Amino acid sequence: MPSNRLPMATSSFFFPLLLLLLTFSDLFVQTRSLNFGINYGQMADNLPSPSRVAALIKSLNVTKIKLYDSDPNVLSAFSNSDVEFIIGVRNEDLPSLRDPSKAQSWVQQHVQPYISQTKITCIAVGNEVFDYNLSQLTVNLLPAMQSMYNALVNLGLAQQVTVTSAHSYKILASSFPPSSGAFRQDLIQYIQPILSFHSQIKSPFLINAYPFFAYKDNPDQISLNYVLFQPNSGSIDPITNLHYDNMLFAQIDAVYAAIKRLGHTDIEVKISETGWPSKGDPDEVGATPQNAETYNSNLLRKIEQKQGTPANPSVPIDIFVFALFNENLKPGPVSERNYGLYYPDGNPVYNIGLQGYLPEMSFDSKSNVLSFNLVVYIFTFLLFTWELSRQ
């Protein structure tokens, strides 16, 4: 049947050519710089090597990565790349790092050897420290941050690298309406001086915010469209008259309000983690690939549009998506192991319009990513030609 229609295929050669050109222009549109960050967590025993991950990140054109430690293999794999790093100090290291000489050794060991090749811009001292309610962590957080900063100053690195800490959203006692945002009363004694420190060294306040948690606890009360950045009527903050149509922006403004309540309007809030799980336990309502895809693709769109929140419209939200990979060794409910945009084998968990490619082995990534794409597009072109020839 196909053979006697061959002339037709030749006559419509122009059409697939057009498709090919359109596809190529699409390729160019997609290789823009994505001004969002991604959390590269490694609580897994099946992740690809850091050099392969570096190729994946480059193919995604992601420009910022947050680590939970200072893995030397990762920092080396990203040498001579444009990717900026937030590296992490583990919670258990806080008590010792309040000691200025230990902080100085830490920076000498974890920052100095890499910084000429890898853009380390920030050290997050501790993660969600206040959630543990352990005095050896809470009382040592600020002293450790100060010692780390002083070490950076001593080593001449304080212009390049700043110091902060990532907090959980649970440090807020009140968050809705956003103007009522307030920190927990029992934490103010710690947070107040931390804010003064941020203000003094001009570093951002980091918060991990998950509208998913609010939704799964209250699926009957909270609109799914509101948490997924889908069209909805939203609500008006009665104090400020500002209109909120998504929960994440309301949460960010609640943090700004809580900071302002303690006297600061000079500290930028950044989202060190947000995301949505693609899978969960039966009682984790909303943890589906569809919702995760909707959440993350709408979020990326807002980041690309450089949107600010209603209370700070001129400050584009700075966000680190959680996470790059599903991490099979994370404890807790099923959702904890299913926040990744990618499976460890490099396949996307769902499609959010990012063109990523994990190479088989480490090699010069850029040219190979391009040639891989070329093969895909030529194949597509041939397929169209063949399809048309069958009509």
Which residues contact ligand NAG (rule: CB under 6 A)?
31-33, 58, 61, 133
Query: Minimum distance from CB of 33 to ligand NAG (Å)?
Result: 3
CA distances from 163 to 8, 24, 152, 174, 364 (A): 66, 42, 9, 26, 33
Measured CA to CA, the distance from residue 385 to residue 391 in angstroms comes to 10
Identified catalytic residue from 84, 92, 128, 327: 128
Query: Minimum distance from CB of 16 to ligand NAG (Å)?
Result: 25
Measured CA to CA, the distance from residue 161 to residue 76 in angstroms comes to 17
Q: Which is nearer to ligand NAG, 32 or 391 (CB)?
A: 32
Q: Which is nearer to ligand NAG, 75 or 187 (CB)?
A: 187
The secondary structure of 261-322 as a DSSP string is HTT-SS--EEEEEE---S---TTSTT-SHHHHHHHHHHHHHHHHTT--BTTBTTS---EEES
Measured CA to CA, the distance from residue 67 to residue 121 in angstroms comes to 12
Measured CA to CA, the distance from residue 38 to residue 61 in angstroms comes to 11
Query: Minimum distance from CB of 1 to ligand NAG (Å)?
Result: 42
- 24: which 2 tokens? 């190529």
Backbone φ and ψ for 135, nearest 5 degrees, come out as: -65, -30
Query: Minimum distance from CB of 28 to ligand NAG (Å)?
Result: 9
Measured CA to CA, the distance from residue 233 to residue 103 in angstroms comes to 50
Element (H, E) at 226: helix 224-227
Specify whether the backbone of 226 is left (phi greater than 0), alpha (psi in -120 to 50) or beta: alpha
Measured CA to CA, the distance from residue 168 to residue 211 in angstroms comes to 12
Q: Which is nearer to ligand NAG, 25 or 108 (CB)?
A: 25
Whether 289 contacts 297, CB under 8 Å: no
User: Does 273 participate in catalysis according to the annotation?
Assistant: yes
Q: Which is nearer to ligand NAG, 33 or 73 (CB)?
A: 33
The SS3 of residue 53 is helix
Identified catalytic residue from 84, 92, 268, 273: 273
* Residue number, nearest CB to ligand NAG: 31
Pairing of strands 235-236, 243-244: antiparallel
Query: Minimum distance from CB of 58 to ligand NAG (Å)?
Result: 6
- Block residue for tokens 């979020």: 299
Q: Which is nearer to ligand NAG, 137 or 254 (CB)?
A: 137
Query: Minimum distance from CB of 279 to ligand NAG (Å)?
Result: 30
Query: Minimum distance from CB of 370 to ligand NAG (Å)?
Result: 8
Q: Which is nearer to ligand NAG, 149 or 183 (CB)?
A: 183
Residues noted as catalytic: 128, 273
